[in-house]
Amino acid sequence: MEISTLTMYHCLAFVWYFFVAYSITHVKTEERPSEVFLYGGQWKYLTVLNLVLQAVFYGVSFLADVLRLIKKLRCAKCIISSRDLLFSVLAFPVSTFVFISFWTLYTYNRELVYPKSLDGVIPLWLNHAMHTAVLPFALLEIFALPHRYPAKKKGLILLGFVAFLYISWVLWIYSVTGEWVYPLFALFSPPGLAAFFASSLAIIFALYNFGEFLNRMIWGDSIAILDHKWKGK
């Protein structure tokens, strides 16, 4: 993509995610079902946290594009490094995981992840904005421009650390309220839940590797060329 087109795309994507995040965080209190949005509010749901993550990522991407347009390449280099780290380690694997895990569980038994009581609170378009549109956006970003991935070990450690923080948050909420963030978790014994979290971690690691593979397959040597170009600035 041309830089001007990229700038417009990233601006629109940022506005879209900001709007969706604003919409879900301003669901009217009196319309909320009693079993959801209690301790931790919407901030206990991976879907909502992912919306904020995507808004931050596209905001950083838009800033990087603007700096390139106005020829502030020294500043742009730092912002682009942050953009690529955000995308490779978090934005792509988390959004893809949200799409796959949500629709797999929804198809099997929606009450385990998205109770029917939410239909009267969250409109259909917002549900798809949170759980469906995230995948096309992530794939379009890979096709739009090359991203420089960190060393494999560094990337997986950072992703694993963030996953550990979220699992800790989920367990903390259960310890305080006695209720699980997702009804699905109540079906497991402690060893079963540990196995579920471990398998989820394995899946998100696989999605990280898949994103890196797609990036390399689509862009190939152009990634190395970009590295050389920026090092020469």
Is the pLDDT at 227 greater than 80? The verdict is no
Domain that holds residue 68: 5-24+35-231
For 218-221, the CB contacts below 8 A with 24+ separation are 218/142, 218/143, 218/146, 219/146
Instruction: Say if 111 falls within a structural domain.
Output: yes
Nearest C-alpha neighbor of 219 from the set 119, 129, 146: 146
Q: Are 111 and 183 a contacting pair, CB within 8 Å? A: yes
Instruction: Say if 96 falls within a structural domain.
Output: yes
Instruction: Say if 30 falls within a structural domain.
Output: no
The number of folded domains in the chain is: 1
Instruction: Say if 29 falls within a structural domain.
Output: no
Q: Are 216 and 147 a contacting pair, CB within 8 Å? A: no
Cα 61 to Cα 95: distance, rounded to the nearest angstrom:
16
Mean pLDDT of 83-112: 96
Mean pLDDT of 158-168: 97
Cα 181 to Cα 156: distance, rounded to the nearest angstrom:
25
On average, the pLDDT of the chain sits at 89
Mean pLDDT of 222-231: 57
Mean pLDDT of 140-153: 94
Instruction: Say if 223 falls within a structural domain.
Output: yes
Instruction: Say if 203 falls within a structural domain.
Output: yes
What is the per-residue pLDDT for 34?
47
